[in-house]
Amino acid sequence: MPERDILAIYHQPDYDIKIWQEWLDKINRRIRLVPIDAPEAQEAEIIIAWAPPKGALAKLPHLKGVISLAQGVDHILDDATFPKDLVLGRLIDPFMAQSMAAWVALAILKQHRDDATYQDAAKKRDWIRIEPKFASDFTVALLGMGAIGGHVAETIAALGFNVLGWSRSQKTLKGVTSLTGIDGFNQCLNKADYVVSILPLTSATRDLFSAATFKKFKKTAYFINCGRGLQVDEDALIDAIDGGHLSGACLDVFRTEPLPPESPLWAHPKITIWPHVSAQTSPITAAEQVMQSILNILDGKPPVNPVNIERGY
């Protein structure tokens, strides 16, 4: 195969670009990454990206395909000028699934084991003990049971929690009760002590977690979001917590990222903030899949994990 130009992740620091180049070189030295604003970009047939500038893809005359450096692709399809003839692939990386499972487990266990109370006591040098809670007495609802969500659900089930998994289609996973449809969604909200969203952003999930939705949650439930920030009405979330209906929230994604300094989420005592790091992409584990998708697209074949553009994932 002749040398191909693959556009670099346009908004990442240079060292990230260099790391990706290093790992792609280990697989195939004929691939060269260039920034999206470089003159050579006009000749490129492939772009690997997180969120290219709106309108940029439509200006690349030789582009054949796009590879998202994430499992979600809403950040790419949000561009109204996205060329409909392009092939779009996404990453499904075991490392990302493991990272997400660890992060969700951490978020649940910090709340379940009263971490905030113990840490406050430690600052006061106050030696306290809280009656332990059995995981089997608590229910976790996982909303979104794709390649990552399914792994997360099984990981949480292995910790002894009762796990409900909600998805578009029925799933068979160890220790997980699979639910579908609007009735299944409402069951998750009504029964779960911990509600975890790993949903992709689509027209059906945008603004899903509204004031009306939070009212369906079990009283004192804890909300964890590592799906997409645009799914949550953040003001409604704060109101639900302040009103005593939710016990708190752990958020890794937000409507605006980076989260603005003036956001009330930062200072809320019952909300934990993470900077969108629950499942980061690593070239160490993902470069081979990216390379195979590149070769497939250039050969007229689908990428390793093709996206149904109409469905949005």
Provide φ and ψ at 68, rounded to 5°: -80, 135
Length of the chain in terms of residues written: 313
Per annotation, catalytic residue among 257, 268, 310, 311 = 257
CA distance 159 to 106: 11
Per annotation, catalytic residue among 228, 268, 310, 311 = 228
CB under 8 Å to 82, separation ≥6 — which residues? 57, 58, 76
Q: What is the DSSP letter of 232?
A: B
Active site residue 257: yes
Classify each residue of 22-51 as buried b or exposed e, where b means 16 or more C-beta atoms within 10 Å of its C-beta: ebbeeebeebebbebeeeebeebbbbbbeb
**Of 68, 91, 64, nearest to 78 (Cα)?**
68
CA distance 75 to 52: 8
Active site residue 112: no
Per annotation, catalytic residue among 276, 288, 310, 311 = 276
Active site residue 22: no
CB 179 within 8 A of CB 196: no
**Residues with active-site annotation:** 228, 257, 276
